[in-house]
Amino acid sequence: MILSTTNNIDGRPVKDYLGIVTGETIIGANIFKDFFASIRDVVGGRSGSYENGGCEAKDTALKEMTENAVRMNADAIIGIDLDYETVGSKGGMLMVAASGTAIKL
């Protein structure tokens, strides 16, 4: 499966537009991540635990979107957009939504 943020695949004409595909995931932050992130806020630096969680959420959303495209017999997904949003009480969870257009090449 070819994944692209662009609206086409160079050198590969689109034969059919199959429809919009999406994938979503929500991950929760735990107390230890919050504690160490607050220390990083004071002393500076990057929060590896939050970065890893964000990457994991993105990968899960893209995987779910790809699985939906496979069910449609797509060859590629174009125009992929990733959205990140905090949800839950006090923004304690991160939602990642991936969307794109499934196509036949």
Read off the pLDDT of residues 48-57 as tens digits, 9 standing for 90 and up: 555 555 688 8
Domain count, the chain: 1
Q: What is the pLDDT, as a whole number, of residue 31?
A: 40
pLDDT of residue 6: 96
Does residue 26 carry a pLDDT above 70? yes
Contact 96, 23 (CB under 8 A): no
Cα–chain-centroid distance for residue 38?
A: 25
Tokens of 39: 């220390």
Q: Six-digit token pair at 26?
A: 């929500």
pTM listed for this prediction: 0.75
Query: For position 28, what pLDDT does the model report?
Result: 75
Region class of 18: left (phi > 0), else alpha (psi between -120 and 50), else beta? alpha
Predicted pLDDT of residue 53: 59
Count Cα atoms within 13 angstroms, Cβ side, for 43. Answer: 7
Specify the range with the lowest mean pLDDT, choosing from 27-36, 64-73, 75-84. 27-36
Please give the residue range of the domain that contains residue 58. Answer: 2-104
CATH code of the domain containing 87: 3.30.110.70
CB within 8 Å of 78: residues ≥ 6 apart: 4, 6, 7, 8, 9, 14, 100, 101, 103
Q: What is the mean pLDDT of the chain?
A: 82
pLDDT above 90 coverage of the chain, percent: 58
